[in-house]
Structure formats: C-alpha cells, structure tokens
Structure 1
Amino acid sequence: MQLVIVTGLSGSGKTIALRVFEDSGYYCIDNLPATLLPHIQNHVADRDAAKVAVSIDSRSIAIESLPDILQTLKAQGIHVQLLYLDASLETLVKRFSETRRKHPLSTPHQALAESIKHERDLLSGLSDLGHHVDTSNLSSNALRNHTRDWMWQIEQSYQEVRPHNLVLSFISFGFKHGLPLDADFVFDVRSLPNPHYDPILRPYNGKQVEIQQFLQNEPMVLEMQRDIQHYIEKWLPSFYHDHRSYVTVAIGCTGGQHRSVYLVEQLGAYFKQQHQVMLRHRELQDAPAAP
C-alpha cells in the first residue's frame, strides 16, 4: 500500500491537497483519528485500494503519537509519505477572517491568533517528518500544481531505485515578500547583478532565455552557483544520516523574478542527475507572461 498523510495547520490548504489525491485515484479519508492509522490496511483491504491518502488535523486523538505510528506502519511494509502544510500567522488570520469560519481549536476565552499559535505548538513535532510546504503566498491553483508535482515524485520513488531516497526541493522567492517557512537552507543572492535595472530585461523572468543569457555572462553569478552547489553537496550526507526524506533549499533575491529563479533552475538541473528534485518559483505563481 502507498499511504499519504496530509496534515498541518487549519486553513493552510489540507482540503485542497486531499482533493488532488482524490482526483488522481487515491482512496481518501478526511480527518481520521491518528489512533486508527495502524488499522488502515485492514479498513481498505476490501476496497482493493493500493493508494490511500488520509487527512489528520490537530483535533485528532493522540496526535502526539503520530511519529511513532508512522514508524510502525513503515515496519509493516507500508510506503508512508507525509505532507505538512503551513502558513504564517498573518495569512491564517486573514483566511479565517475572510471565510468567517471558526478555528477548530477556538474557545470563547481564546482569540483566533491564540488558537493558531496553540495549534502550531500541538503539531510542532510533525513539520520535519515529511515534505513541509509554506502556503502563505500560494494561490489555490498553485497549491494544486505543487501537490501534483510532489505526488508524481513520490510515485516515482516507489518504482525507481536510487542511492538515497531523498527529495531536494528548490524554491525561489523575493525577500520583500518574506522568508518561506518551509526552508531548511536560505541563500541570499541580492548581491548579484540585477536585470531589473535594465528596462528591456525587466519584464522577463529567470526561466526565459533573455535573463539566462544576461546572468550566464556574469562571473559573480557563476561563482555563487558553484558555492551553493558545493555547500549543499557537503551537508546533504548529514540529512541522509538523520533519515530525512526532504530537504528544502530557498534562493532569494529582491523580488523573486530574475536572479533567484535563474539559480533555482540551474541548481535543479545540476542536482537532478543524482537526486529527486522539485522546483517552485513562489513569486511567479500568478505572474503575467513576459511580452
């Protein structure tokens, strides 16, 4: 059985992610108590469900025991992957305010922000167990696309034999829009030459040939790329030894349009030769195409 567990903060997009799995043929269970997970194989055996996705939130009974339950499931031969969705306090407060929904942990004596902080504390032991995604700056459609990409990666991992079953996730972002919450490493590339100051290059982004040609001709950019590659290669073994399944590397420039996007594309191509790689350009999700 292939088992995917979707968890994280309320309002971070768990329902959207679960529907992606449902649309892709997974047998989905929403808001399953954590204590029932060890019996999941018996529950779906009569349904011939080889792929199962389960949503578990902070209201679940014995949520603190979930890490031990996951180890038990893996020992039984079940392929388990965990998707943890997160978002900033400001984003979650705005989402709940806009939808006028009640937070699942809210009480008459506890404000919305306090409920969110309480939930974050309850789930703090889960965020490093799988693929951690910050949805603060993701639209619903961008989250669907990223979930599909991640689903494709984990399904590939069931079929392929690799020296290390570790996924490298590269994210480009703009510092003026805030740091991504899901980053293990953050590299600041704002010191590199900026195409933004060229009126002809400004409308393009780092995935397009006009920006690529500009940055490839800058020695500082090539040196920065090599330094980041060497740093990641040096410290990846520590993540193998810690039995981590995912490492997220964030590359940031000022606006998240040119330099960071270019370097994420280059680093992804380099590490894809030996690792499973995912790429995400946070600030390009809803950006218009260049002329």
Structure 2
Amino acid sequence: MQLILISGLSGSGKSVALRLLEDNGYYCVDNLPATMLADVVALYQTQGYQYIAISVDTRSAPTLAALPDAMQALKAQNIDVRLIFLEASSEVLVKRFSETRRRHPLSGNGLTVEECIRLEQEMLEHIHELGHRIDTSHLSANALRAWIKVLVDAEADCLTLVFESFGFKHGLPLDADFVFDVRCLPNPYYEVALRPLTGQDEAICRFFESEPSVAEMLTDIRRFLKTWLPRFRQDNRSYVTVAIGCTGGQHRSVYIAEQLAIAFADEQVLLRHRQLAPPK
C-alpha cells in the first residue's frame, strides 16, 4: 500500500494536491485526525485499497502531536508512507485569503489573517521536517499538480535529490536545503537573440559551454554535493532540495540545474524549474 499524507499551511494548495491524487486513482480523505490514521489504513487494507491520500493539518490540531509516531508505526508495517508539506510566504497567503474571501480555519478566536498564519506556522513546525516540502508561493496550480505527480511516482526508501531553478527577483524558495547563487555567471539575457530562450534550449547551452566560469561553478557544486550527500543518507533523510538561483530563473539557473541533474543521474533525481511553465 502507498499512503500519501498531505499537510501544510491553509491556502498553500492542499485541496489542489488532494484533487490531483484523487484524479489519479487514490482514495482520498480530507481532514483526518492523526490518531485515526492506523484505524483508517487498516480498514482500507481489508477492502483492498492500494493507494490512499489523507490530509492531516491544523483543522485537527489536538491530534497533530501524534502524527510522527503514527507515521513510524505504519512504516513498520511495510506501508509506503510519504508526507508532502505545502507552504507559502505569509504575504502570498494573505493575498490568497483576501482574493478568495475565505476565512482562515484558525480565525474563530478573533485573530487577523496574519496572526492566524503565524499561529499555524508554529503549530506545524514539527511536521514539515517529516516529509518533502513544496513552496507554492509562485507556483501555478498546474505546476503544483505536475510536481506532486512526479513526486509520488518516485521510488520509495531512496534519497531523492531535487534540483530546483528559481529567480531571485521572485524570492528565495522556502523549501530549499541548499541555495547556490549563479548570478555571477555570464548572462545571455543581454544578447537579443538569446533573451527569449531558456536554459533548456540548445543555443543557450552552447553559450554556457563556451564560458569557463560556468564549468568551474558546476565543478564546485558537484564536489560539494558529492561530499555531503552521504551524511544526509546517514541521517535517514528522504529528500534533499538544491535550489539554483539567477535573476529571473530563465537562463543560468535552469542550465545549471539541468546539468546537475545529468551529473547525478545515478541518484534518484527530480528536476524543477519554478519560473518556467510545466511541460504539457
């Protein structure tokens, strides 16, 4: 059985994630108390369900403390348990609640939206380290769906190395374990013919292949990661996210992320480009 747990901040896209999983054949349960996980999973096992997705968040706040032990107990039964934690910046969350005119789930005590977000972040502080974090601050719904689909298809019980390009002008991604700034590299943006292209295009690749500093940057990042990845395995980490940033997230960061994905092809690798449209 594969059990996907969806958690995170209100307004970060949990409903989008759950609907995507339901569309892909998962039996979905929204807002389940963590103390009921074992019983619900056992029930669905007897009914022959192989793929289950359950949302666990602050709507069942009194039971959240039980989530880590519940996950470990299920893993001990050889169940493939994965937690996806969705988050976004406070500014983006405030804007989303304002645009949709929805109440925050924690607003019953007379708190402002900003106060609710801070409280929820504190309540979930011990949860986000249990799984894979995704910062949805500047992600479209389509991009989030694509990322989650790839994530749940990844092999279990294997460290997943995520290379993620982004643009600094859009802000640092909250889900990054390492951030490498490649804005010091030559920028093809200033060549008119190359400006509309991305780091995935052949002309951009040729541009960077002719620049010695780009090769030096790649060598240094590869060396760093090869040195420290074994330590993350020893720490039983399931995911390591390496963010590569340039100004706009279109040329330099995309190229470097693509090359790193190739260099670490012997690992389980996921490749993401925050500022590019997801492939159709």
Q: TM-score, normalised by structure 2?
A: 0.96
Tell me the amino acid that sits aligned with residue 236 of structure 2.
Answer: H
Q: In the alignment, which residue of structure 1 is the partner of 2:274?
A: 282
Moved more, 38-47 or 212-221: 38-47
Tell me the amino acid that sits aligned with residue 30 of structure 2.
Answer: D
Aligned-pair identity in percent equals 54
Q: In the alignment, which residue of structure 2 is the partner of 1:83?
A: 84
Q: In the alignment, which residue of structure 2 is the partner of 1:20?
A: 20
Separation in 1 of the partners of 2:278 and 2:151?
Answer: 20
Deviation of residue 62 (structure 1)?
Answer: 1.4
Deviation of residue 47 (structure 1)?
Answer: 2.8
SS in 2 for 1:64: helix
1:178 equivalent in alignment to 2:171: yes
Tell me the amino acid that sits aligned with residue 262 of structure 2.
Answer: A
Q: 1:57-99 CA distances to partner (integer Å, 9 max, x unpaired)?
A: 1121310221121111111221101100010000100001100
1:169 equivalent in alignment to 2:170: no
Separation in 2 of the partners of 1:282 and 1:45?
Answer: 37
Separation in 2 of the partners of 1:69 and 1:10?
Answer: 22
Q: In the alignment, which residue of structure 2 is the partner of 1:161?
A: none
Separation in 2 of the partners of 1:65 and 1:187?
Answer: 36
SS in 1 for 2:59: coil
Alpha-carbon RMSD across the aligned residues, in angstroms, is 1.4
Q: In the alignment, which residue of structure 2 is the partner of 1:123?
A: 124
Separation in 1 of the partners of 2:90 and 2:201?
Answer: 34
Separation in 1 of the partners of 2:129 and 2:243?
Answer: 16
Separation in 1 of the partners of 2:151 and 2:278?
Answer: 20
Moved more, 130-139 or 107-116: 107-116
Q: 1:170-226 CA distances to partner (integer Å, 9 max, x unpaired)?
A: 110111110000000000000000001111111100011110110011000011001
Q: In the alignment, which residue of structure 2 is the partner of 1:52?
A: 52
SS in 1 for 2:58: coil
Matches within 5 A, 1:57-136: 57-60=57-60, 61-136=62-137
Unaligned runs of 5+ in 2: none
Q: In the alignment, which residue of structure 2 is the partner of 1:138?
A: 139
Runs ≥4 residues deviating over 2 A: none
SS in 2 for 1:278: strand
Q: TM-score, normalised by structure 1?
A: 0.93
Matches within 5 A, 1:216-231: 216-231=209-224
8 Å CA contact retained: 1:138, 1:285: no
Separation in 1 of the partners of 2:152 and 2:41?
Answer: 20
8 Å CA contact retained: 1:10, 1:104: yes
The number of residues matched between the two structures is 278
8 Å CA contact retained: 1:129, 1:244: no
Deviation of residue 41 (structure 1)?
Answer: 2.6
Q: In the alignment, which residue of structure 1 is the partner of 2:186?
A: 193
